[in-house]
């Protein structure tokens, strides 16, 4: 049995319809769930991955994509985790095409935020020369989730954060009425504020941000 077939079968066997309803409700019914909690899902995933290690490492991009286009949200999470494990320090330049497809497929905050930080962010650390073009393209897109990823890709960069890009993205989207953009601006600034609090406070005080963005940015900054 292939990795995907075995994983799907194991998830089916461990599905919980009551939990699935609650999870689907939490995600505004955008997705179908098996109803498996994160800890249990990861344990099942780890066991099956160990049995198919060679198959997955050889075909990680294709397997991840094949999982990501399936219906159940738990399979999307596994797809992301496969890429996080196998591509770190092993990205190729063309991976940006896969990253973009992942960001605009089955898009919701849970997948987009993880992909932005742990996949797009890592990719651009490996190919810093691609940052300007990629972020400009994502930022100018009509797709809100690509806009959000352009704001969030530096989460966790700390001292490596390019403040010029961060601030310019925040200004560019500061008039957005979209909740997920306003929230992303605040989150990105708050995160960088842990590294450079004074610079973030100065920026927030001198920039006309939406109240939600400002509130989120200054949370924990005194």
Question: What are 132-177's pLDDT values in tens digits?
Answer: 999 999 999 999 999 999 999 999 999 999 999 999 999 999 999 9
100, two tokens = 């973009």
Do both 135 and 72 map to the same domain?
no
Instruction: Tell me which residue range forms the domain holding 212.
Output: 106-222
Q: Does any domain span residue 97? A: no
**What pLDDT sits at residue 215?**
98
Query: What span, in angstroms and rounded, lies between the C-alpha atoms of 214 and 171?
Result: 12
Mean predicted confidence (pLDDT) in 105-109: 99
**Which residues does 83 contact at the CB level (< 8 Å), separation at least 6?**
60, 61, 64, 102, 119
Is it the case that residue 124 has pLDDT exceeding 90? yes
Are both 116 and 206 inside the same structural domain? yes
- Whether residue 135 sits in one domain with residue 210: yes
Domain total in the chain: 2
Instruction: Tell me the C-alpha distance between 24 and 186, whole Å.
Output: 27
Give which of 69, 90, 68 is closest to 78, Cα–Cα.
Answer: 68
* Confidence at 222, pLDDT banded by 50, 70, 90: low
Average pLDDT over residues 24-43: 98
- At residue 55 the predicted structure's pLDDT band, cuts being 50, 70 and 90, is very high
pLDDT for the residue numbered 171: 99
Gap between the Cα atoms of 183 and 169, Å rounded: 13
Q: Is residue 221 over pLDDT 90?
A: no
Residues 78 and 129 in one domain: no
**Cβ(68)–Cβ(105) under 8 Å?**
yes
Rounded Cα–Cα distance for residues 201 and 11 (Å): 46
- Mark whether 136 and 203 lie in a shared domain: yes
pLDDT score of 36: 99
Q: What is the mean pLDDT of the chain?
A: 98
Mean pLDDT score, 178-204: 98
pLDDT value, residue 1: 86
Interval 61-78: pLDDT, tens: 999 999 999 999 999 999
Is pLDDT of 60 > 80?
yes
Residue 129 structure tokens: 């020369």
Residue 93 pLDDT more than 70?
Answer: yes
Are residues 113 and 222 both part of a single domain? yes
Asked if 111 and 201 sit in the same domain, the reply is yes
End residue of a domain, out of 19, 54, 87: 87
- Is the pLDDT score of 10 beyond 90? yes
Q: Assess whether 50 and 155 both reside in one domain.
A: no
Q: Could you tell me if 87 and 95 are in contact, meaning their C-beta atoms sit under 8 angstroms apart? A: yes
CA distance 26 to 45: 23
Q: Is the pTM of this model over 0.95?
A: yes
């Amino acid at each position: 049995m292939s990795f995907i077939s075995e994983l799907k079968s194991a998830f089916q066997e461990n599905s919980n319809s009551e939990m699935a309803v609650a999870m689907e409700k939490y995600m505004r019914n955008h997705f179908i769930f098996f109803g498996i909690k994160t800890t249990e899902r990861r344990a099942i995933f780890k066991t099956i991955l160990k049995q198919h290690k060679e198959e997955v490492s050889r075909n990680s991009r294709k397997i991840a994509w094949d999982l990501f286009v399936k219906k159940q949200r738990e399979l999307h999470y596994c797809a992301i985790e496969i890429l996080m494990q196998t591509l770190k320090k092993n990205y190729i330049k063309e991976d940006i095409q896969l990253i973009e497809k992942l960001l605009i497929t089955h898009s919701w905050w849970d997948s987009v935020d993880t992909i932005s930080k742990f996949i797009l962010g890592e990719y651009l650390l490996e190919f810093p020369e691609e940052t300007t073009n990629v972020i400009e393209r994502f930022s100018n897109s009509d797709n809100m989730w690509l806009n959000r990823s352009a704001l969030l890709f530096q989460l966790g960069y700390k001292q490596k954060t390019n403040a010029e890009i961060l601030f310019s993205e925040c200004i560019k989207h500061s008039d957005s009425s979209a909740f997920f953009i306003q929230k992303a601006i605040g989150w990105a600034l708050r995160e960088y504020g842990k590294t450079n609090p004074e610079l973030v406070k100065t920026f927030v005080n001198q920039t006309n941000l939406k109240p939600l963005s400002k509130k989120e940015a200054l949370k924990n900054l005194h």
